[in-house]
Amino acid sequence: MPAELIDGKAIAATIRGEIRDAVAKRTASGLRPPGLAVILVGENPASQSYVRSKGKACREAGFHSVQIDRPATITEAELLALVDECNNDAAIDGILVQLPLPRHIDESRVIDRIDPRKDVDGFHPVSVGNLVLDKPGFISCTPKGIQELLVRSGVETKGKFAVIVGRSNIVGKPMAALLMRKGRGGDATVCVCHSATPDLAAVTRQADILIAAVGRAEVIDGSMLKPGAVVIDVGINRVEDPAAAKGYRIVGDVAFDSASAVASKITPVPGGVGPMTIAMLLQNTLESAVQHDTAE
């Protein structure tokens, strides 16, 4: 029997509806709407597309949304000063600097400059430290979205063996910490695999939950899965295909057809993890606004 699809698009739409309702209640009670500032440097087409999607989502949720565009020639000092302006703006609850940045700018220095209280991307060292130490704080949007997909799809994580393929700072590492946390969507036994893992398939075949986040097209296939495993595909890869309308196809890190014949549940690409990332960005920004209400 083919695997059940985990519809990230539908789940994200539900969450965005919940956020929209919460924002409406805020504004009806006289509170200001949550504010998100997105800083876009340069003219990377993919980054421009992501930023447009985030802006649209903010407007639909009733947020105060600010997009700040700067040329790729901006200096690091100018960008840091821009981040400071957003840090000091009381109408802004979340700051997102769209990556990647031009090579002459130190991304770590820019991320470190964001006020941790406005780090809705969850990339600041304080946010990462809070996650690892199991303290309150903002969680990186993609791992948080994956956890929400699992919970809302009825996937039990407690006591399960979860294998993450990929050790990036954006997905792999925070995902491992999140799944190990006690409580909702956690309490899993976690293994992180990477380029130096010998016999990857021997490990992935043991996984009750497999999360593929390696950035290589269809590197995981059905022969590498445990029957009945839950598969979360984080990858978005462009594969040339002359037969396709655009001359290419978008595929994940998992070979969908062979994997869906073995798995019990699986996310599609696109329409799986991607929509959840933006939903979690909105959720983090709303949470930041609520925290700022308390602090004021």
For the stretch 126-143, pLDDT in tens is 999 999 999 999 999 999
pLDDT greater at residue 241 or residue 135: 135
Neighbour count for residue 157 (Cβ, 10 Å): 24
What integer is the mean pLDDT of 7-20? 97
Q: Which domains does the chain have, with CATH numbers?
A: 29-118 (3.40.50.10860), 141-274 (3.40.50.720)
Given a cut of 80, is residue 1 above it in pLDDT?
Answer: no
pLDDT band at 296 (very low <50, low <70, confident <90, very high): low
What integer is the mean pLDDT of 149-160? 98
pLDDT greater at residue 243 or residue 107: 107
* Closest C-alpha among 23, 173, 38 to residue 97: 38
Active-site residue list:
54, 98, 121
Going from the C-alpha of 83 to that of each of 109, 111, 115, 256, the distances in angstroms are 11, 9, 9, 41
- Contact between residue 149 and residue 232 where contact means Cβ atoms under 8 Å apart: yes
Q: Which of 103-117, 255-269, 282-296 has the lowest mean pLDDT?
A: 282-296
What integer is the mean pLDDT of 61-76? 96
- Contact between residue 145 and residue 106 where contact means Cβ atoms under 8 Å apart: no
Q: What is the DSSP string of 158-182?
A: TT-EEEEE---TTTHHHHHHHHHSS
pLDDT tens-digit series, residues 278-290: 999 999 999 999 9
What integer is the mean pLDDT of 94-103? 95
Given a cut of 90, is residue 79 above it in pLDDT?
Answer: yes
Going from the C-alpha of 60 to that of each of 26, 91, 172, the distances in angstroms are 15, 18, 30
Q: Find the Cα–Cα–Cα–Cα dihedral 23, 287, 183, 233, rounded to 10°.
A: 80
Question: Is the bond into 174 cis (omega within 30 degrees of 0)?
Answer: no
